[in-house]
Amino acid sequence: MSTSPCFNVQHTTRAVMEWQFDNATRILAKPDPKVSSITLMTRFDSRCAFFDVRIPLKLKGLDTTTDITLRACASSITSLDLVKNPIVPNEVEQEFESTALCLRFQLSCNLDILVPTLALEPPCPGRARSGLVLDAVREFTQATVFSIYIEARDAPSPELHSISDAISRGLFKPPPNRRYQLASMYAGLGAKVVQFPVESTIAPPAYDQTEPPPPPPPIEPKNDRKRPRQDTQTERVDDIGLIWAELQMLKKAKDEDSKRIEALERRTRN
């Protein structure tokens, strides 16, 4: 009886996603909030073998931001090519501080979509920015060929090459339970497999076959009273956290600029 090869790789790093949709190249580099990062987790050991792409965002049904996880089991990967020094889009250059490594995946089936058990089904965004991210994720999950960029200096290159070789030789077998470890995900709250609703492919009727629209409703007098905002306490806390993180980043950049200016002044005086 053949068994899957055994590795001992558990590695997580920042990532940028690239795929094709409607004959155009799509990029997702910034999740929600933008100060957080998309990550690629590689886990290959005696019990499981998969890649997880984790995208932070806000989902309805949850009080705080979370991740939506896209999982590629090793047995579903038909090829994994590692491209050194790739020509990268601007979004990748802006995200990384060093040379990128491109992981080009080809799958035999779509990615598994995992969310916390308390999230609504199908996944619904909890705010506008998360809606944009979720739309991109929906497109990405329809692709079976895509690329993931990571920083080359932070990549377990020897292990990735060994995994790529094992995939090309078809050594990974389907796991006995594709839902392994779901109960322990999201800090023990558990995860579930979900699907996005299938978009309708029925073409709209021709223009000359449509009925005229109904008359517009009567114009009501304008109410001068402004409608109060319905932000929840949690959303306000999230916004404050984002503002604080951005202020900390600005302070750090200002301190670094001050140090550089002082160093230049000392050189000038000498």
- Alpha-helical runs (H) found in 96-184: 128-141, 157-168
> Is 226 inside a domain boundary?
no
What pLDDT score was predicted for residue 174? Answer: 86
What pLDDT score was predicted for residue 63? Answer: 93
What pLDDT score was predicted for residue 5? Answer: 81
pLDDT, block means (10 residues), the chain with 270 residues:
76 98 96 96 91 98 96 97 96 94 98 96 96 97 98 94 96 78 90 85 46 63 53 60 66 66 65
- 20 and 117 in a single domain? The answer is yes
Q: What are the pLDDT digits (tens) for 33-76?
A: 999 999 999 999 888 899 999 999 999 999 999 999 999 999 99
- 146 and 17 in a single domain? The answer is yes
- 147 and 248 in a single domain? The answer is no
Cross-strand bridge partners of residue 20:
25
CA angle 17–23–24, rounded 5-degree value? 45
Q: Which domain holds residue 270?
A: 233-270
Report the distance separating Cα 72 and Cα 77, nearest Å: 7
What pLDDT score was predicted for residue 201? Answer: 43
Number of domains in the chain: 2
Q: What are the pLDDT digits (tens) for 86-101?
A: 999 999 999 998 999 9
